[in-house]
Amino acid sequence: MIKYSLITLLFSLLLGVYTPGTAADVASGEDTSGPFIPKAQRRFSEEQGCVEPTGEMRANHMEYILDQRDATVHEGIRTRQYSLQECINCHVSDAEDAPRVDNEEHFCSSCHTYAAVSIDCFQCHADRPVKSRFDSLSNSSMHRIGSAAVPPTTLDSEQLKVLSNEDFGNE
């Protein structure tokens, strides 16, 4: 528990450093003195660009990611809305020559460099979208758990009658 409160404290400290910058940005509208933040690759929905309003995300994105992180690692909750992987999928280009996180033009680095807040997410996490190798597998029944080939000899006559009904061919 102490660990978590320490982390929260750290984040709130970071937030303290970070907020004045964004507040100035918002107040002056088109402030050219702020960092250049690359446009996202796509919108989250028709109504809004990001998963929460932009101001909320600028101030509190780390809270969302932190909550999601524990839910995913420990409980296997893999909703996409607040996952770091989805942040990257939207905000970073998958082009081969797209800037990496050590480059100021990377979405995360652009602001974090400006605010002088170092992040260590990408020491472990992918800093750009990578097509998952197992994406193509999800439709293949051979790779599904429980897709076991059970010898047909174990079926009794009643089950075989059910099997002959082709209505059950589709999942």
Partner 1 sequence: MSEESNIDIYRRRFMSGTATAAAGLAVAPGVMLTEVARAKPADQAVSSDIRWGMLIDTNKCNEGCNDCVTACNEEHNLEGFGRPATDAQWIRKVTLKDKQTGNIQTLPMLCQHCEHPPCVDVCPTGASFKREDGIVLVDKHICIGCRYCMMACPYKARSFVHEKLQDQMPYSPRGKGTVESCTFCVHRVDEDILPACVVACKEENHNAITFGDMNDPDSEISQQLKQHSSRQVRADLELNTGVRYRGI
Instruction: Give me the residues that bind partner 1 (CB under 8 A), please.
Output: 3, 69, 71, 73-80, 85, 88, 123-126, 129-130, 132-134, 137-138, 141-150, 152, 155, 158-159, 162-163, 165, 167-171
Do 40 and 50 contact (CB within 8 A), yes or no? Answer: yes
CB of 66 to partner 1, least distance (A): 9
Q: Shortest distance, CB of residue 57 to partner 1, whole angstroms?
A: 20
Which structure tokens are listed for 169? 């061919």
Minimal distance, residue 25 CB to partner 1, in Å: 30
Structure letter (DSSP) for residue 121? G
Cβ proximity to partner 1: between 43 and 78 the closer is: 78
Choose between 54 and 132: whose C-beta lies nearer to partner 1. Answer: 132
Shortest distance, position 28 Cβ to partner 1, whole Å: 36
Report the distance separating Cα 79 and Cα 51, nearest Å: 12
Q: Whose structure tokens read 């059910």?
A: 162
CA distances from residue 59 to 39, 76, 85, 147 in whole angstroms, order as listed = 18, 27, 19, 46
